[in-house]
């Protein structure tokens, strides 16, 4: 049986949320907590498949609770859905906690049911070994945040000190970003620096063609634009490329 833990310090709101979750699947095993300590106690005594956590708890922050859960090996990659009235905390949540999603108060029953059914279905599962950081968030030039699936990033390009993320959804230019910082945020074993101005997703490489004795052109599956691979980085890229084949 799939188990869910709802952490919300407001009794009425917690009961409303539990009722909505129950509508999505009558067979769920739902646990309730009103504080960080109570939530941690339940999580240690019973395995929880996913969490709904209010960002603002009376005795602590939902982010602090999530951080403590992430320190426990069994919850290192468990999906967490934050409940909040404060969207400003969500960038921190995606970057530091790697949460699945967030829901804005007041709750919309349809959103709760849809999210719960999706998680219960198991369609969210992915290989932890292949990609430990499923989603990342970047702040764009106009201060709008974009949430990206790491697997959808073809490559990262630096031109005139501006970083461009080439993805399956389009191109994005994060604000105040360097190539090194972008790679740190993404934190994927499969996205590697290939040139002083490029980093590539090795899993999406279609072919590598020689330009000169120390420079190669990298093509990607179903994407027209190219990246560069220099002699300095070719061995590291080749090693991961070989493992991914």
Cα–Cα distance between 196 and 194 in angstroms, integer?
Answer: 7
What Å distances lie between residue 154 and 171, 216, 245, CA to CA?
A: 10, 16, 17
* pLDDT tens track for 99-132: 556 777 887 888 888 888 877 876 444 333 333 4
pTM of the model: 0.50
Which letter does DSSP use for residue 25 in this model?
Answer: -
Beginning with the edge strand found earlier in the chain, give each strand of the sheet holding 215-220 in spatial order: 205-212, 215-220, 223-230
Kindly list the distances between the CA atom of residue 217 and the CA atoms of 152, 206, 235, in Å, as whole numbers in the listed order.
20, 11, 15
At the topology level, CATH places domain 135-244 in OB fold (Dihydrolipoamide Acetyltransferase, E2P) (2.40.50)
pLDDT tens, residue by residue, 9-52 = 999 999 999 999 999 888 899 999 999 999 999 999 888 988 99
What are residue 166's DSSP bridge partners?
Answer: 155, 171
Q: Which of 202, 204, 194 is nearest to 227 (CA)?
A: 194
Q: Give the CATH number of domain 3-121; options: 2.40.50.140, 3.80.10.10, 3.40.50.2300, 3.20.20.70.
A: 3.40.50.2300
Per-residue pLDDT at 210: 93
Name the one residue in this structure whose structure tokens are 């804005």.
104
Whole-angstrom Cα distance, residue 170 to residue 158? 16
Cβ contact 21:52 at 8 Å: yes
**197 closest CA partner among 226, 169, 223:** 226
Peptide bond into 25 cis (omega under 30): no
Domain ranges of the chain: 3-121, 135-244
Question: CA separation (Å) from 74 to 44, 47, 48, 61, 79?
Answer: 10, 8, 9, 21, 11
Rg, Å, the chain Cα set: 21
The residue count of the chain comes to 245
Three-state secondary structure call for residue 151: helix
Per-residue pLDDT tens over the stretch 142-184 = 657 777 888 999 999 999 889 999 999 899 998 888 999 888 8
Q: Which two tokens stand for residue 98?
A: 């790697």
- 4 burial class (0-12, 13-18, 19+ CB within 10 angstroms)? buried
pLDDT digits (tens, 9 = 90+) for 186-245: 888 899 999 999 999 999 999 999 999 999 999 999 999 999 999 999 988 888 877 655
């Amino acid at each position: 049986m799939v188990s869910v833990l709802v952490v919300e310090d407001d009794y009425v709101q917690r009961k409303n949320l539990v009722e909505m979750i129950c509508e999505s699947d009558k067979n769920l095993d739902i646990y309730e907590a009103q504080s960080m300590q109570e939530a941690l106690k339940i999580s240690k005594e019973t395995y929880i498949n996913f969490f709904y956590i209010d960002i603002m708890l009376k005795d602590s922050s939902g982010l602090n609770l999530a951080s403590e859960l992430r320190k426990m090996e069994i919850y290192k990659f468990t999906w967490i859905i934050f409940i909040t009235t404060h969207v400003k905390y969500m960038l921190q949540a995606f970057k530091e906690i790697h949460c699945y999603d967030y829901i804005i108060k007041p709750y919309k029953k349809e959103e709760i049911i849809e999210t719960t059914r999706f998680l219960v279905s198991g369609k969210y599962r992915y290989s932890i070994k292949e990609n430990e950081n499923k989603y990342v968030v970047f702040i764009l030039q106009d201060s709008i945040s974009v949430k990206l699936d790491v697997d959808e990033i073809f490559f990262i390009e630096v031109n005139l000190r501006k970083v461009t993320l080439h993805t399956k959804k389009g191109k994005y230019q994060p604000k105040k970003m360097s190539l090194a910082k972008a790679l740190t945020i993404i934190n994927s074993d499969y996205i590697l620096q290939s040139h002083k101005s490029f980093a590539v997703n090795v899993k999406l490489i279609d072919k590598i063609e020689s330009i000169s004795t120390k420079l190669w052109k990298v093509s990607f599956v179903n994407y027209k634009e190219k990246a560069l691979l220099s002699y300095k980085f070719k061995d590291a890229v080749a090693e991961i490329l070989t493992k991914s084949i």
